[in-house]
Structures are given as structure tokens and as C-alpha cells.
Amino acid sequence: MYIVKVPGINGLGKTKGCEKAPNVVLEALKEIHSNENGKPIDSRLLDLEEIHLENSNLELTNNLIYKNSFKMFETQPRTVFVGGDHSISYSLTRGFFDSCQNLGKEPCLIVFDAHADCMIPMKEPTHEEWLEN
């Protein structure tokens, strides 16, 4: 399984600090010593990658997330993306659906979030309405 760190923030300054989340989450995995079957977990054995972003340029950041996630979805059947704030969701999802279409696969997306993110779309996609697009 590939774990891809996506240290993105929305560029508006409201989510500063979220770019540290992927490293914090992966560090916390060291505290988990076994899964529900008692099988030991060694987080050092995970295949880790990172999408290096330019958080001061939202358009460039979204393009980097899209292009990298598209490539990962096409080459790695099991990939988990660990973000920053949820402004990364739109570009990741777009990469997922475009790669499914490119490979001729039927997409299936399951979203776990604290709220629905289904606001009426705005001019530019945001983290609040990306599922509506």
C-alpha cells in the first residue's frame, strides 16, 4: 500500500498548520503496535511518497495534486492520500475519476468526512463544494 503525503493548505491563511498533518499522522502510526487481528504493524515498512506543493500558489498546487494523484491512481491500486486541509479533495477526486475513465474502469468513491461538503458550486472549486462539482 502506498501512502502519499499531501501537505496542502487552501492558500487563504485560514488553515495554516494543516500542512504538517501528514507527518503528524504518520508519526502517530508508530504508536499502533498491532491491528485488530493482533498482527504487528511496522510503519517503517510503508511505501511513502509526498506531493511537493507550492502552497502560496493555489492554481499550481491544485495542478500538482491532480497530476501526481492521476499518475498514482493509474500505477498503484491501493493508495492512501494523507492531507493537509481538505482543499486537496477536489484535485485528488478529479485525478481519481480521470484515471478511471482513462483505464476504462468503473469508479467507486467512498468519502469519510465530518460534513457533506455539498454546497452550491462557486466560480472556483473550494473545499466546501467539491462533491457537488
Provide the CATH number for the domain around residue 76. 3.40.800.10
Give the Cα separation of 54 and 64 in Å (integer).
9
pLDDT at 40: 78
Does 119 map to a domain?
Answer: no
Calculate the alpha carbon distances from 66 to 58, 61, 69 in Å. Answer: 12, 9, 5
Does 82 map to a domain?
Answer: yes
What's the number of domains the chain is made of? 1
* Helix and strand numbers, DSSP H then E, in the chain: 3, 3
Q: Tell me if residue 3 falls in helix, strand or coil.
A: strand
Does 41 map to a domain?
Answer: yes
Does 29 map to a domain?
Answer: yes
Does 129 map to a domain?
Answer: no
pLDDT at 39: 82
Put simply, whether the predicted model's pTM sits higher than 0.85 gets the answer no
Domain span holding position 6: 2-103
In this prediction, the residues of the chain whose per-residue pLDDT falls under 70 are 11-14, 111-119, 121-133
pLDDT at 72: 93
Does 127 map to a domain?
Answer: no
Contact (CB, 8 A) for 25 and 48:
no
Does 116 map to a domain?
Answer: no
Contact (CB, 8 A) for 49 and 3:
yes
Does 34 map to a domain?
Answer: yes
pLDDT at 11: 62
